[in-house]
Chain A
Amino acid sequence: MRAAAPLPAAPPAPLSCAHCGLPVPSPSAETGPQFCCSGCRSVYEIVHAAGLTGYYAYQDRAAAVAVGERRAPRKYEELDDEAFRAQHLRRDEQGHACADLLLEGVHCSACVWLVERVGRVAPGVVSSRLDLSRNVVTLSWDESRTSLSRIARGLESLGYAPHPLGTAQTEAARHRDRELLLRLGVAGAAAGNVMLMAFALYSGAFNGMEAAYQALFRWASFAIATPTVFWAGAVFLRGGWAALRTRTPHMDLPVAIGILGGYAGGAVSTFTGRGEIYFDSLCTLIFLLLVGRYLQQSHHRRSTSQSELLLALAPQTAHLVEGSAGRDVPASAVAVGATVRVNAGERIPVDGLVLRGTGSVDTRLLTGEPMPVEVKVAERVYAGTSCEAGTLWLRVESAGSATRLGRLMASVEATQRQRAPIVRLADRVAGHFVLGILALAALTFGLWLHWDPRLAVDHTVALLVVTCPCALGMATPLAVSVALGKAARGGILFKGGEFMEELAHPGVIVFDKTGTLTRGQPELVAWLGEATWQAPLRAVEAASGHPLARAIQRAFPENELPVSDLEELAQGGISAKVAGTELLAGSPTLVTQVLGKLPAWAERLVQSHADSGRTPVVVAAGGSVRAVAAFGDALRPEARDNLGQLAALGYRFEILSGDHQSVVDGVARELGIPLSAARGQQSPEAKLRRIQELRERGERVFMVGDGVNDAAAMAAAHVGIAVHGGAETCLKAADVFATREGLAPLTQAALGSRRTLHAIRRGIAISLAYNLVGVGLAVTGLLSPLVAAIMMPLSSISVVSLALRAKTFNAGSP
């Protein structure tokens, strides 16, 4: 996106920000360090005040990210709450409190340096260790000297906003990672040692070897292979057993059959002193499969920690008002009947009635309605919406899971539990594969029983070992992991590889209109009347934070007309004197109240705009109506191109929106989507029903949304996709989400998924080809353990290198 946008003409001598190194947009007149934004300035000052200037020596300027406009600093008082402490705090040996926090904005070596010296701004920190790959800082501090909220404020002042992280969950994940790595190490050591002994055995097979030495090597191999198979390889044995018990195909099953078959045959040979052993191949196989498993798990963990960061972004606190004082508490712990204050620009934390104040509330994420709603005293507002302008005092009616948002969340979770799991391609193939192997094993055994009964068991074991599907067990997860990693770098996060496989097949893509196909914010779409009033209107609206005022600020160029007597009226109206003329802008009702009556042409325009779902604003000057402006939710500029590309691949589209039918029709017409597939005024329940209906019809359904009202539908679809900037409820329900603005990530996700599926198929085809050759050799009795030992790694290496080289997602492309 950034590369595609034409850059504004560079200033003659571009100054770079003293903190982040980005160009300074408007240099100040004073000399000394210059900054790109107020955020960078305050971080720079704090870094200097704390004597941490070493930060700038380590900073990787190329990777720097501007801090951006500073949000109002938070107090983080919820981190000192008893409930939070019970859940997240640990103790170390010295009795210091420990906790993990997820940090926003860490990206380079300098960040590690700065974060680990947070003690300079928050005295009392005993240690601070940052894990850069997970964006997690592990803190321990002296509780008599400081508190977690104070440390959190310190971290925020350095430019790294902290977020709580579920400790129990990460502890379990860490334990799983270490366990798998240990198995991997043991299997690797075993494979190396057994292979050395196998060398001796193979050369002995060609040149002759005394029976005593042969027995020694066999017994030693057996001794090493036994723990490898039953401890390191237990992952596959358990997986295979689970697949058998639940009767679901899984790629662990053929692997387990191969391992057990080979081990049993080798054990019998070792004890009897006759026949072949395959311990070297088995140990190598287990080692390679564990490598695949480990890579898959670490990729998966990285993408989940990224999604956790996104999920943690929303502040879950409420400003409780008690008499004249106030404090911040966790939003779920607010008591019914309490009073809560919501400032402009904040999210409403509870469901409640407005006690005092007026404001403009953005309900887009809850209802799909793009236009902000004006609320007055005694009106009801809901958690999950946000207050755009004005300050509201609310009497809490419900909090936490009892809110409308909470109940919607519960239904999302219920829907997610009911969803049938996706059977992955490798598992489906594995299902057929097992039957094939068993049939071939029976065939081999039968034939050799007929020809030479002494060799029947040997050759059957050889078959089981050589058909053990390495590509299925390793190349597929590897191809998927690599693709997941590339996709994440390109701004698309998949919660699992199975969604990639699903998205690769064309189906119906269902869009929620607001925020996905459109920008989700009001834009000026029509202006009828005298154009000379545009500049005065722009001047009047310049300071207002109202969403419609912001749309006017975007639509017309800035000017410096003198404005006096500015007055903000109810319902988003505004009046002021510009260059001596009284100017009034507001809703038709407001203007009618002031002027008495609208002229007929204005009346007609207002009516037609209202009919097509737009918001009309009447502009009057000097006592008469001069123009009628209309605001609507504008289509994203890239929507048409992206939908065209997807349509060419065979995807079909449908729109389910909470907005007016007429607006939805307009969008559908512009994008060439049939009107029969464009539905407006859809409640969350109606969206869910429609998705279920499509699924029952046998369609593959992808739901693209951004709001809470889409969450249930996303959970019910085959794949739920959340676009950038959505509500966190919607992120929880989503299987795929974009961290970049716009619809381009959707197209890339679909294209990349198709290429990934192609790479998976190619890997499976190659591994099956190797297996076919192996089966031919085994059935005819030509397969010796040496041939098996060569073929196995050869097939692994070829499928793995293909998987790694596959072009799936192009990282860094716009």
Chain B
Amino acid sequence: MSIIFLILPITLLLSLGAVAAFAWATRGGQFDDLQTPALRALHDPAPGPGITRESERAES
């Protein structure tokens, strides 16, 4: 059972990593708007720099 002395710190480090990732995502504004991106995903072709889909190429 003494393995717990090793496992517990590792677990806590993993959690710390998750929290750090969450902090990064929050500070980057990924949780600012939880409604529009879901709708945006339905739009075709997806807006974004440099991405041109077949359908758009055919259009222009």
Which residues from chain A sit less than 8 Å from chain B, CB to CB? 51, 54, 58, 108-109, 112-113, 116-117, 129-134, 174, 177-178, 181-182, 185-186, 189, 193, 213, 216, 220, 223-224
Contact = CB atoms under 8 A, between A and B. Distances in A.
Nearest to B9: A220
Contacts of A216: 4-5, 8
Contact of A181 (B5, B26, B39, B42): B26
B28 to A, nearest CB: 9
Given A112-B40, A134-B33, A193-B12, 16 more contacts: A51-B59, A58-B42, A109-B39, A109-B42, A109-B43, A117-B47, A131-B33, A133-B33, A133-B35, A133-B36, A174-B29, A182-B23, A185-B23, A213-B1, A213-B4, A220-B12
A140 B38 CA distance: 22
Nearest to A189: B19
A132 B19 contact: no
A116 B11 CA distance: 43
A225 B18 CA distance: 17
B4 A132 contact: no
Contacts of A185: 19, 22-23, 26
Given A185-B23, A185-B26, A131 B32 contact: yes
B32 A178 contact: yes
A808 B53 CA distance: 49
**What secondary structure prevails in chain B residues at the interface with A?**
helix
A542 to B, nearest CB: 46
Nearest to A185: B22
A178 B31 contact: yes
B27 interface: yes
A299 to B, nearest CB: 14
Contacts of B29: 174, 178
Given A51-B59, A193-B12, A112 B23 contact: no
B15 interface: yes
B39 A189 contact: no
Given A193-B15, A213-B4, A177 B32 contact: yes
A582 B33 CA distance: 66
Contacts of A220: 8, 12
A54 B44 CA distance: 9
A116 B47 contact: yes
A113 B43 contact: yes
A216 B7 CA distance: 12
A116 B43 CA distance: 11
Those 4 A-B pairs whose CB atoms lie nearest each other, nearest first: A109-B39, A132-B36, A131-B33, A185-B22
A806 to B, nearest CB: 24
Contacts of B40: 112, 116
Contacts of A54: 43
A182 B43 contact: no
Contacts of B5: 216
22 contacts: A58-B43, A109-B42, A112-B39, A112-B40, A112-B43, A113-B43, A116-B47, A129-B36, A131-B36, A132-B33, A132-B36, A133-B33, A134-B33, A177-B32, A178-B27, A178-B29, A181-B31, A182-B27, A185-B19, A189-B15, A189-B19, A220-B8
B42 to A, nearest CB: 6
Contacts of B1: 213
Contacts of A223: 12
A193 B8 CA distance: 10
Contacts of A130: 36
Q: Which among B12, B15, B22, B39 has the highest number of chain A CB atoms within 10 Å?
A: B39
A189 B18 contact: yes
Nearest to A179: B26
Contact of B26 (A112, A131, A132, A182): A182
A57 to B, nearest CB: 9
Contacts of B33: 131-134
A172 B41 CA distance: 28
A224 B12 CA distance: 9
A575 B1 CA distance: 104
Nearest to A108: B39
A186 B32 contact: no
Contacts of A224: 12
A213 B2 CA distance: 8
Nearest to B33: A131
A132 B39 contact: yes
Contacts of B19: 185-186, 189
A223 B15 CA distance: 13
A220 B26 CA distance: 26
Contacts of A178: 26-27, 29, 31-32
A109 B41 CA distance: 10
Contacts of B8: 216, 220
A177 B34 CA distance: 13
Contacts of B15: 189, 193
Contact of A132 (B23, B27, B35): B35
B39 to A, nearest CB: 4
Nearest to B38: A109
Contacts of A129: 36
